[in-house]
Chains A and B, each alone.
Chain A
């Protein structure tokens, strides 16, 4: 697999897996209005995933469906942050805040990529992800600066997802082999930290302490135990009824 294909697959898998997690909120969100909002965000990410997986598949003749439904766990290269279980609403918002802040910084840089397809996907995604981040930011402020209970839950949600944010910024040889095309994830960290710190301060929340536990491996197909259950549900229909249409 070429570096460009690997890189595209990483971007696409992040979108696909987080999209599935957000879609799990459908009919379960705290308010009908929030139900639609989360589904909209999930659909934005699914649209990005389709473009990226179609592009990744074009290198070796696989379709977007082949990549989404017929790969096994070890072949998925999404960050572990995306696959974590939803937890309560505050957990979901904490994850969305951390991820969309990263993704927005990434897409803004990727619009200048020498690869025209990645640049085009990023240019379309920037506006969508800016809204995802805005949505997460507002809920973080509301919950953090809300009642004692909402503050406690928001802080707990942040603590739960925080260790998984480190993986987003680990550079490896895939990006290094794509100068001018890929973005060095490490270079996104200062912007990410500065934005997150601003939101947390405004929300009267504390940045979780870094206790040294920094799980990683998603980019190389090593996933948390949540991933197998996610894929089982996500891929079941397609595998049980190959080629099914409606």
Chain B
């Protein structure tokens, strides 16, 4: 086990896409985290940009709050744009 702080790594695969969480690693500081991320997560040409974030700085939703957080959205189909007729001529929608 490493005694160094944990960092979360986000990689952008190519221009136009957003950064995606790919995993975590241990490092003493941000610069070391960035370099370790380069070695661990982009060695097979996975990315063009890397973000590293201290894991301790991330506020996460709790599994205990899952029901009040997410269940109310389940039966509200009107929030999905499924009640519109899409003209056949429109290609990009």
A residues whose Cβ falls under 8 Å from a Cβ of B = 31-34, 36-37, 40, 134-135, 138, 142
Contact = CB atoms under 8 A, between A and B. Distances in A.
Nearest to B43: A40
A33 B40 contact: yes
Interface stretch (B10-18, B27-35, B55-63, B77-85): B27-35
A146 to B, nearest CB: 9
B2 A37 contact: no
B35 A135 contact: yes
A142 B28 contact: yes
Contacts of A142: 28, 32
Nearest to A37: B39
A33 B28 contact: no
A232 to B, nearest CB: 30
Interface of B: 2, 4, 25-28, 31-32, 35-36, 39-40, 43
Contacts of B43: 36, 40
Contacts of A138: 31-32, 35
Given A36-B40, A36-B43, 11 more contacts: A31-B2, A31-B26, A33-B2, A33-B26, A33-B36, A34-B36, A36-B39, A37-B39, A134-B35, A142-B28, A142-B32
Q: Which 3 A-B pairs give the minimum distances between C-beta atoms?
A: A33-B36, A37-B39, A36-B39
A40 B25 CA distance: 16
Contacts of B27: 33
A37 B28 contact: no
B17 to A, nearest CB: 23
A103 B26 CA distance: 30
Nearest to B28: A142
A60 B52 CA distance: 50
Contacts of B26: 31-33
B39 A33 contact: yes
Among B32, B35, B39, find the residue whose CB has the most chain A CB atoms closer than 10 A: B39
Nearest to A40: B39
6 contacts: A33-B25, A33-B27, A33-B36, A36-B36, A40-B43, A142-B28
Contacts of A40: 39, 43
Contacts of A31: 2, 4, 26
A36 B39 CA distance: 7
B39 A32 contact: no
A4 to B, nearest CB: 33
A78 B4 CA distance: 37
A134 B25 CA distance: 20
Contacts of A34: 36
Contacts of A37: 35-36, 39
A51 B85 CA distance: 61
